A and B are shown apart, each in its own frame.
Chain A
Amino acid sequence: MQLTKEQQEIFDGARGETMARVMQTLVAYGEAFDAERMVPITGEYGHTVISFGLGIMKPIYELYDKILSDGEVSHQAFSADPRPVDKKNVPANLLQNFIFDFMYSQQGRYEEQLRSFGILSDDAYTCTCYLPEVGNTPRRGDILSWAESSAVVYANSVLGARCNRNSGIIELFGSIAGCVPEFGLLTDDGRRADWIVELRTSKLPDAQLFGSAVGMKVLEQVPYVKGLDRWLGAELNDAACTYLKDFGAATASNGSVGLYHIENLTPEAVEHGETLIREGAPVYVVDDAEIERVKNSYPCIWKDLAAKPKLCFMGCPHMTLSQLTDWTLKVEEALKEAGNRKIVIPTVFTAAPAVLRAFEKTEYADRLKRYGVVTSSICPLMYMNNPLCKSMPVITSSNKLRTYSSARFYPEAEILRMITGLK
């Protein structure tokens, strides 16, 4: 790899042994992908996937202590994934809370480290950092050093920024060094489509199911999706972006997609069209039967498959403002039809702190509260890591949460019926 004079000096130890090792790690990471140079980060803010102070992950906090003690901080402010615990809002019994205290014993220490490294604010904890209310929204072409699979795939695909699927720790190293190795999704060639996905369903498929199908098929490759614009239109409006947020999160967690193109909709597909597709790209047809097959393929590890759900999580990744208002209306209508005044399964809607603040200013917030739905900025996955929560029958509309926990997946329409008691 060819380094600039300044990069080479850092690599050789001019800024101390720790900073040299940070640069050497980034260079080795790039060399695994035949990167020829390190390029400067041009996005204004970073984003780290590590937001939790898990006791068992002390080696990470020790590593960060070492870096901080040598005077190194991030060159850019950054946001972080959601916090793991919200005792004030999310239901948990005394024993579960005791386990949370034990599991996340490093939370205070870690948040202090994030403040020292340069986190944007004490409120900058969300997986949807790119939403306008949060403000970490990259521009098209920006080079990023982010981790969080759902945010990376959104930034690449919907916003047209350039970011590899970096791991936790590596993304912060990039922000500290101010540069990242140029390979993969940072290059024009790496952004070309390896697959054609043809959507032939009779209606707009559930975003989480469609994304799951695509992710499991193409794994880490780039799909070019045809036929979705028939349902979403040709404008990247709020509804389309919301759908793509959930679609992308499922492609990234059920496979490892870092970028997708949607014909006539996402910026690079609009600009370059089918010239993005590699010659000989295989075709994956998704019809109603394929969506049904994928849905029925999910294992469920509940001990009692007929158990009555004790909790429902919506919002992994975090919900948008329009999702919160739309779901308030959906819950309202379904409750009326079911003849119920309140939901029948304890339910938590999760969203970024800034989005929840905006929601609180609307007329819908009180209504949602009245129906019994709780809002929180927690990470549902971190909640489900608690062994006592894991053993509970929890349902979710999130394919990401299903993948990483014992939560059982249902499409949104079924979740609505279940939580409102609608037959």
Chain B
Amino acid sequence: MKKTFQGRVITPGTCRAEALVSHGGFNTLASYQTPMLLGDKAVKCSDQNNPDLYQKSMLGKALCLPETIGSTTGGMALYTVCATGKQPACMLFSKHIDSLAAAGAILAAYWTDAKMPVIDRLGEEFLSAVKDGMTVEVKENGVVEIE
């Protein structure tokens, strides 16, 4: 059954992708560190502290998360991931976006050609409803549909 959520657009765009869900804070550096260093084509999450995502491919997925956590290299890591075409299809935040993720997403939007819509404030219910493998559709106006 399709469910619809309204969020706020941080960086615009549309996409349709498979959901990948982190219920805890997403540590951007810890998650992208190893795949970036080793050139892992599947971009598998290297954060051993994140049981939801560890060792799962993040490339091209609709990354659903509450917020990002960790080092202030997080935004820079996200920028690099986008500049090298290794980004998720979109990032969907249940909470208000944090400063590191916002910086990374906005840097990517202004300084790279990457397309990665970012929506925040989708609410706790969004993160409870969305499951790995579901199809997620992001509309231009911040509407997110899951099925």
Are the chains A and B members of one assembly?
yes
Selected from A56, A170, A253, the residue in CB contact (under 8 A) with B71 is A253
Q: Mark B30-55, 1 if CB is under 8 A from A, else 0.
A: 10010011110000000011000000
The complex places the Cα of A56 from the Cα of B84 at a distance, in Å, of 9
Knowing A29-B103, A169-B107, A255-B69, the reply to whether A403 touches B37 (Cβ < 8 A) is: no
Knowing A57-B80, A59-B79, A59-B80, the reply to whether A167 touches B100 (Cβ < 8 A) is: yes
Check A387 against B106 for contact (C-beta < 8 Å): no
Which of B4-32 touch A at CB < 8 Å?
Answer: 10, 25, 27, 29-30
How many B residues touch the partner, as a band?
Answer: 35 or more
Chain A residue numbers with a CB within 8 Å of B75 are 166-170
A106 at the interface (CB under 8 A from B): no
Number of interface residues of A (CB under 8 A): 44
Interface locus among A145-153, A306-314, A357-365:
A145-153
Having A54-B37, A60-B83, one finds 14 other A-B pairs with CB under 8 Å, namely: A28-B109, A32-B102, A33-B102, A49-B72, A59-B112, A63-B111, A165-B100, A167-B75, A167-B78, A168-B76, A403-B27, A404-B30, A404-B70, A404-B71
Which of A24-63 touch B at CB < 8 Å?
Answer: 24-25, 28-29, 32-33, 49-50, 54, 56-57, 59-60, 63
Chain A residue numbers with a CB within 8 Å of B120 are 32
Which B-chain residue is minimally distant from A26 (CB atoms)? Answer: B106
The secondary structure that dominates the B interface is helix
Number of A-B contacts (CB under 8 A): 128
8 A-B pairs with least C-beta separation: A167-B75, A168-B76, A59-B83, A167-B103, A147-B72, A256-B69, A170-B103, A32-B102
Chain B residue numbers with a CB within 8 Å of A148 are 71-72
Check A56 against B37 for contact (C-beta < 8 Å): yes
Check A29 against B102 for contact (C-beta < 8 Å): yes
The complex places the Cα of A219 from the Cα of B30 at a distance, in Å, of 16
Most buried by B among A148, A149, A168, A219: A168
Check A167 against B73 for contact (C-beta < 8 Å): yes
Knowing A29-B106, A169-B79, the reply to whether A256 touches B68 (Cβ < 8 A) is: yes
Which of A68-124 touch B at CB < 8 Å?
Answer: 103
